[in-house]
Structure 1
Amino acid sequence: MKRIFIFLFTFFLAFHTINSQNISETIIKREDLKLDNSNSWAISAGVSNFIMHGDLRSVGTGNLGNFWNFGGYAYVDKMFNPLLGLELKFNYSKISGGAQYFSDVYEILYLKSTKITNNLFFRGTAYGGELNIIFSFTNLYIANASKWHFTGYFGAGYHQYDSALFERLPNGTDNLLIDFGNNPARNSVYEASSIYLSAQIGLKYRINKRIDIELRPAWYFNYEDHLDAAISNKQDWETYLVTNLGLVIKLGKKKIFTIWGDDGKDKRKPFQIIDSDKDGVIDELDIEPNTPKGVMVYGNGKAIDSDKDGLPDYKDKCPLKFGPESNNGCPIEIDSDKDGVIDSKDLCPDTPGEKDNKGCPKQDKKEQITQQINLLATSIYFDTNRSSIKSVSYSSIDKIIELMKQIPNAKFLIEGHTDNKNTAQYNLILSQKRANAVKDYFIKSGINPNRLATIGYGESRPKYSNENDGGRQLNRRVEIKPIK
């Protein structure tokens, strides 16, 4: 029985997931049925008929004829949208049944020398509650349903019952064999109980804006085997059918209930796939729905930014080079030492040098390498108010590590700097953290920690103007200088 419940539960989850994924292009989108302008609560009550299908049955029985079991129900519904909702339902019913006229004779457990025969029957009452997920099949496939509505209900519940098993004697009297309302043999002093799963199909007819009538057949799987007061080895699980018929009252002051139109006056518009900017991402999922035609975008519709400098490629004059937005996404071309070689290409940006020597004066290998290291350090970037290194910086850092390994006896001072955002004390601490972050990466990459020192200067040594975003971004930097 447990395997059946696990299977059904897994099937229900899979069914729900598959349908949720497949309805994206067929779901009905109705502007007039949003929750803010439609009623979403309803209550219902009605009569029910219970049919047992276990060791004993309510119909198709033997000498005792069919058993008709009537009861009642009530529920309250809440719709979250035209497709999905939740229901709390309460049930009460008489329950009874007899042996099938074609049943084989087999033993009943917990009763000595008792077998399923045509003179056995059970009777009792059952009451309980269940929680169901509501799924509207009509609103999934039909754009305008104003009179008929087809709905599925899937859920689980709990009920108690006082089933008692009787034997009809030849003289017409009934002999009590076992009572699950008070059954010492089962260590059950009070009424028996069980959890159950249910699958139900509801067909509603709209009488008017306030009232519907609903016919709902339901199939139940009972976890225990004693609902019919008979436990056997032949059948260790039970099902039963319940047919419900009742009136539904829709609550609220709005003219429309969530699952209905309004006498055909409220037009339901089919879902439309709209892609305003023709980038292949529908507007509902596009975070930039108005990108220019032909612009390449990511899966969420955002324009591609190849160099991750915050400026999309179609606006970036240097789409493959990291640069501030204030300079149209291009690196700022400054020639600090006035030697005719811009800093981005100058291996010695602070020292006048020769053009044929990449902006550096003629010098020995160690000096060249240290100047190259300091130049590469200008390509190490940080986010505002953070000490984490931007991913675009790691290619330059790895080149620095290779150069450091070429001069293993050289020691270096890593200076941290910030822009002028926040207080001077905060920026001083932040600059030290940035210098330490670079040092830690060097150490993890094999550089001896004894060769490295760090210091943070905060905002005290700006290299560029702090009056614009581009300058502030360049001031969030580290400088790597040799220790002599």
Structure 2
Amino acid sequence: MKNLNKLFAAIVMFAGLATQAQDSNNKWAVSFGANAVDGARVSAASKFEDQFSQYFDAKKYWNIIPSVSYVNVSRYVGDNFSFGVTGSVNKMNKFVSGRIYDATTNTNEYQVSNPGDLTYYAADAVIKYSFQDLLKSKWLEPSAHIGGGYTWLGDASAGTLNGGLGLTLWFSKNVGLSLQSTYKHSFDDTRTPNVDVATHLQHFAGLTFKFGAKDTDGDGIYDKDDACPTEAGLVEFQGCPDSDKDGIQDSKDSCPDVPGLAEFNGCPDTDGDGIADKDDACPDVAGLKSLGGCPDKDGDGVADKNDKCPEVKGPKENGGCPWPDRDGDGVYDKDDKCPDVKGTAANQGCPEVTDEVMKKLNDYGKTILFDTAKSTFQKQTYPVLEAMTAIFKEYPNSSFSIEGHTDSDGKDAANQKLSEERAAAVKAYLVERGIDASRLSSKGFGETMPVATNKTKAGKAQNRRVEVKLVR
């Protein structure tokens, strides 16, 4: 205990040397003092309202040692929240073991006994919320806190879930008296001392010291409140300088080395068009604000200096000139997927795929010949595939589905797989010949969609086919 007191004395000396700044800048705090444990009376109560009925009966229930017995180190993390850790030590010589009937008062009284001067240690993490800003008070700081920790009581130990309230009375900007009560809920099944840790209350009273402020530029304004923390400045400008003496601090002056007007953030306006020179693309010629101070003869929204056709209206995206339409189909070349062939706006300037074209593709598809039970092509089929490729290239903005079909010979699963592989083979051939793969999909239907009877050789030949569908 003697060494513990020396540690606390060192903390006091350190805090005393470091407490020269404003509270809003001091993010670190150290608290130390005495703590009291309520002897687990709160968990001996059978009713919730009885848990706090004798809250201030310290003489009867509280365990206190005559020494500095707790220390807390915390850091402000923003939005009135701070996070800290608390270490405390105590000795349990008062423990509420239960309630007994008192015949003289006809009431049930708490039975208090000494559990054996058990040593009490606790280490707790604390998240605190301060209500000081809500009260707008400089000296009164109520707070609420939650957290968790671990408590050792004799040979017993347990984790606890904590919550409570606190109050700090600030004597100065950095030193205050802190009072706090914490409800520490233990999840042990019983309340046997030296075996379990019972749910209990722990109270704290001590001094709190804030520290950690910094003034980098040495202008007497701490960094947190200094608008220019690395440049020495004037108090009236929150620590910022005003180099050109125009009454606008440099950090807000767009032209800090040239005197100007407040309406132009400290900058001049040579041509008088209402746009500060630094923002005026044509500072010597009055122009339009929407064009950065430059004129626009044709009124197309493109400044003359950037307009490739200053006498004719055109979109900004084309340098102020009208968009070209080479094929005259009403779709600008920039949007026309087929700029040299007339098409329709609905098909992005490309010609629409007609029913006649689809019929031709499917007539070709019916003549595609594969090796027996394989997805490889017979030699005489390649001219057909080349003809189909040429048609696909005529409609670069259209997408198609390649569908494979078989006759009923063989097993269903094998026919399904074969139809998928043959459709995929046609797609692969087209992609190899320059057709974008994103325009094509393939799938197989096996023998499920015959177009003729499978009882004759001619019918089977018709059922072994490749069909092309337009994807709309």
Q: TM-score range by the shorter chain?
A: 0.3 to 0.5
Q: Which has the higher contact order (CA 8 A, sep 6+)?
A: 1
The structure with the greater share of residues assigned to helix is 2
